[in-house]
């Protein structure tokens, strides 16, 4: 069961967020894809696949990092 959740452009490549399954366990994958000569999107080695519990921790950490960036940008404006 692979289900694409989102896709973002990154230059000529795209970054996809997807739900995947391996050995009857669900994972969340964030991976860069490139277009091959035949016009098909192919995955690269650039990416990460984590179980949902660990991805929750990453999500919280990313939220904190974004808050830090926002606070730093607000400090520069003042």
**In the structure encoding, which two tokens stand for residue 3, read together?**
């289900």
Does this model's pTM top 0.75?
Answer: yes
In this model, does residue 77 exceed pLDDT 90?
no
Cβ contact 28:52 at 8 Å: yes
Of 34, 58, 57, the C-alpha closest to 46 is 34
**20-47 confidence digits (pLDDT tens):** 999 999 999 999 999 999 999 999 999 9
Please give the CATH number for the structural domain made up of 3-77. Answer: 2.30.31.10
pLDDT at 74: 73
Cβ contact 10:3 at 8 Å: no
C-alpha to C-alpha distance for 10 and 13, rounded to whole angstroms: 5
């Amino acid at each position: 069961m692979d289900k694409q959740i989102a896709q973002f452009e990154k230059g000529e490549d795209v970054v996809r967020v997807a739900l995947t399954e391996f050995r009857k366990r669900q994972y969340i994958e964030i991976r860069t894809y490139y277009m091959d000569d035949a016009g098909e999107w192919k995955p690269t080695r650039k990416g990460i696949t984590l179980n949902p519990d660990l991805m929750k921790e990453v999500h919280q950490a990313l939220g904190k990092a974004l808050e830090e960036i926002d606070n730093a940008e607000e400090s520069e404006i003042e």
